[in-house]
């Protein structure tokens, strides 16, 4: 369970010049009592505003800075990484500041707000506005002797009134996006339409080719189009954005900077998945662009996994399968695909990552897909969990 805890003014004022505005009597003891023994998650600015990590609590600090070190705290680099570190059977607290409250609001089950009966026009940080209709409001207690007056109020989210919406930055390519939607629909435990995930798909097929840009064969940069679409999805109130395209991972840092909702990485999630499943050495089947960017190689090394890539000849054949067969909607030469796979298994790989969403489309027509780890399936699993639903029918590795 995720609880946001904050002290807000009449206009949701939170802070000024990286400091608290509200220091009303009784509020700090209430904060300490409520959060002690639990995990607290905060943004880098809030951590820096504290004298030290909060005692008697597991501190998690969110920052985009890869070199950031926080004494007494775990450091994570994205909202989804923070979410994945939380034990959802226990209560965890999001303790600020403004940008972190905004990013976690869709995932919070409860808001515990100290509502201060005052305003502060100079505030530079605000709590995100939220629709009170979507919560059940309970007044817990007034803070005795607080000046100005302050009351602790609890808002419990009515999930029936406010389901999470998944944004899909798609069209990269279009067939893989359509298959991704099919996959999350098939693999969400549901007994009626309303049990499924609300999804907004932006299938921007005209996005310039990612591989051509990364390998220098084209100067048409797909990033501005992807950023525009990510911002559009965010403006439609999606809770998270997934990108069913491995090659697009190359641009993920810029996309994450451009929006405040979580953008899980298909590559980080896939490598974490194979590590959890106990594999030791992964063969990487991906586009030239993904291999050139070394996205999977770097992530495997980070997780202590071995890796192999196809020989130059097999890589050329794989690109023919992706661009010639799948993207052009022609007949797929599955024998060619199996030969490429065999060569990697012969070199000691115990799993092969389908690190291009077009290859997922090949997997579904194979008679035997054992040993293949489909990055699109891993992303679908991640998306279903992120939206608070129960995944079902994924392969044995997903229960590992
Ligand atoms: N009233 C209250 O209850 C309360 C509680 C807490 C804080 N506050 C106040 O709020 C203010 C601070 O809020 P703030 O919004 O300026 O800062 P913040 O939310 O504490 O921290 C912002 C930083 O968090 C990191 N971050 C945010 N979103 C991220 C994401 N999606 N992925 C990775 N990193 C991310 C970034 O760190 P990098 O720049 O390092 O990448 C960003 O600069 C202060 O005035 C503080 O006193 C008030």
Q: Check pocket membership of 103 for ligand 1, CB cut-off 6 A.
A: yes
The confidence score (pLDDT) of residue 400 equals 44
Look at domain 165-264 and name its CATH class: alpha beta
Q: Does residue 289 carry a pLDDT above 50? A: yes
- pLDDT tens track for 102-141: 999 989 999 999 999 999 999 999 999 999 988 999 999 9
The alpha carbon torsion through 279, 347, 302, 312 (nearest 10 deg) reads -140
For ligand 1, mutation pick of 6, 10, 11, 14 (most atoms within 8 Å of CB):
14
Nearest CA to ligand 1 atom 44: 18
- pLDDT tens track for 62-118: 998 889 999 999 999 888 889 888 887 899 999 999 999 999 998 999 999 999 999
Contact 309, 287 (CB under 8 A): no
CATH topology of domain 2-157: Dihydrofolate Reductase, subunit A (3.40.430)
Contact 363, 355 (CB under 8 A): no
Contact 216, 143 (CB under 8 A): no
The values of phi and psi at residue 378, to 5°, are -65, -40
What is the spatial distance between Cα 125 and Cα 178, in angstroms, rounded to a whole number?
40
For ligand 1, mutation pick of 31, 59, 62, 239 (most atoms within 8 Å of CB):
62
Any catalytic annotation for residue 300?
no
Query: In whole angstroms, what separates CA 160 from the centre of its chain?
Result: 23
Cα–ligand 1 centroid distance for 80 (angstroms): 16
Over its C-alpha atoms, the chain yields an Rg (Å, rounded) of 23
Nearest CA to ligand 1 atom 32: 78
Whole-number Cα distances in Å, 354 to 60, 161, 174, 397: 32, 38, 17, 15
Render the burial of 121-150: b for 16+ CB within 10 Å, e for the rest.
eebebbbbebeeeebeeeeeeebeebeeeb
Q: Check pocket membership of 203 for ligand 1, CB cut-off 6 A.
A: no
The domain ranges of the chain are 2-157, 165-264, 267-378
Looking from the CA of residue 17, the nearest atom of ligand 1 is 45
Q: Does domain 267-378 have CATH number 3.40.50.1860?
A: yes
Closest CA to 59 of 247, 131, 48: 48
For ligand 1, mutation pick of 43, 150, 252 (most atoms within 8 Å of CB):
43
DSSP alpha helix (H) spans, the chain: 27-35, 44-49, 79-85, 98-104, 174-186, 210-214, 223-235, 252-258, 266-276, 288-293, 295-302, 312-319, 334-346, 357-363, 375-386
Looking from the CA of residue 101, the nearest atom of ligand 1 is 19
The half-sphere exposure of 6 on its side-chain side, counting CA atoms within 13 A, is 33
The confidence score (pLDDT) of residue 183 equals 96
Residues 6+ apart with CB under 8 A from 33: none
Out of 112, 245, 300, 387, the active site residue is 245
Q: Check pocket membership of 247 for ligand 1, CB cut-off 6 A.
A: no
The values of phi and psi at residue 328, to 5°, are -90, 0
Least confident of 18-32, 36-50, 200-214, 354-368: 354-368
Which whole number is the average pLDDT over 312-324?
94
Q: Check pocket membership of 357 for ligand 1, CB cut-off 6 A.
A: no
CATH fold match for the domains 165-264 and 267-378:
yes
Out of 112, 300, 341, 356, the active site residue is 356
What is the spatial distance between Cα 300 and Cα 272, in angstroms, rounded to a whole number?
9
Nearest CA to ligand 1 atom 15: 98
Cα–ligand 1 centroid distance for 8 (angstroms): 15
Q: Classify the C-alpha dihedral 206-211-214-218 as positive or negative.
A: negative
Looking from the CA of residue 260, the nearest atom of ligand 1 is 31
364 vs 162, residue with greater confidence: 364
Percent above pLDDT 90 for the chain: 80
Q: Check pocket membership of 99 for ligand 1, CB cut-off 6 A.
A: yes
Asked whether the whole model's pTM tops 0.75, one would answer yes
For ligand 1, mutation pick of 44, 67, 112, 113 (most atoms within 8 Å of CB):
44
Least confident of 18-32, 118-132, 381-395: 381-395
Nearest CA to ligand 1 atom 35: 63
């Amino acid at each position: 369970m995720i609880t946001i805890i904050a002290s807000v003014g009449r206009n949701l004022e939170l802070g000024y010049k990286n400091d608290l505005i509200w220091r009303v009597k009784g509020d700090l003891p209430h904060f300490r009592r409520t959060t002690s023994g639990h995990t607290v998650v905060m943004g880098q600015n809030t951590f820096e505003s504290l004298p030290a990590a909060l005692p008697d609590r597991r501190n998690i600090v969110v920052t985009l800075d890869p070199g950031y070190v926080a004494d007494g705290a775990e450091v994570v680099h994205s909202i989804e990484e923070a979410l994945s570190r939380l034990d959802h059977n226990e209560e965890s607290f999001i303790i600020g500041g403004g940008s972190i409250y905004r990013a976690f609001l869709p995932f919070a089950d409860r808001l515990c707000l100290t509502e201060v009966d005052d305003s502060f026009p100079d505030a530079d940080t605000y709590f995100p506005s939220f629709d009170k209709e979507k919560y059940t409001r309970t007044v817990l207690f007034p803070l005795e002797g607080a000046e100005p007056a302050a009351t602790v109020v609890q808002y419990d989210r009515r999930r029936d009134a406010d389901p999470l919406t998944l944004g899909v930055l798609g069209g990269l390519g279009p067939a893989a996006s359509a298959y991704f939607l099919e996959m999350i629909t098939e693999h969400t435990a549901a007994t009626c339409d309303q049990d499924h995930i609300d999804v907004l798909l932006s299938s921007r097929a005209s996005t310039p080719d990612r591989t051509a840009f990364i390998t220098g064969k084209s100067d048409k940069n797909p990033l501005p189009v992807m950023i525009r679409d990510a911002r559009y999805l965010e403006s439609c109130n999606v809770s998270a954005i997934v990108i069913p395209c491995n090659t697009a991972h190359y641009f993920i840092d810029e996309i994450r900077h451009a929006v405040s909702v979580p953008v899980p990485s298909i590559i980080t999630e896939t490598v974490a998945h194979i590590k959890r499943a106990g594999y030791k050495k992964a063969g990487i089947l991906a586009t030239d662009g993904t291999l050139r960017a070394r996205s999977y190689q770097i992530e495997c090394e980070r997780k202590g996994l071995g890796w192999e890539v196809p020989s130059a000849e097999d890589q050329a054949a794989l690109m023919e399968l992706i661009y010639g067969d799948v993207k052009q909607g022609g007949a797929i030469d599955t024998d060619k695909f199996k030969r490429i796979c065999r060569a990697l298994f012969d070199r000691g790989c115990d799993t092969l990552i389908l690190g291009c969403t077009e290859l997922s489309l090949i997997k579904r027509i194979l008679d035997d897909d054992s040993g293949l780890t489909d990055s699109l399936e891993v992303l679908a699993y991640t998306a279903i969990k992120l939206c608070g639903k129960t995944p079902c029918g994924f392969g044995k590795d997903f229960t590992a």
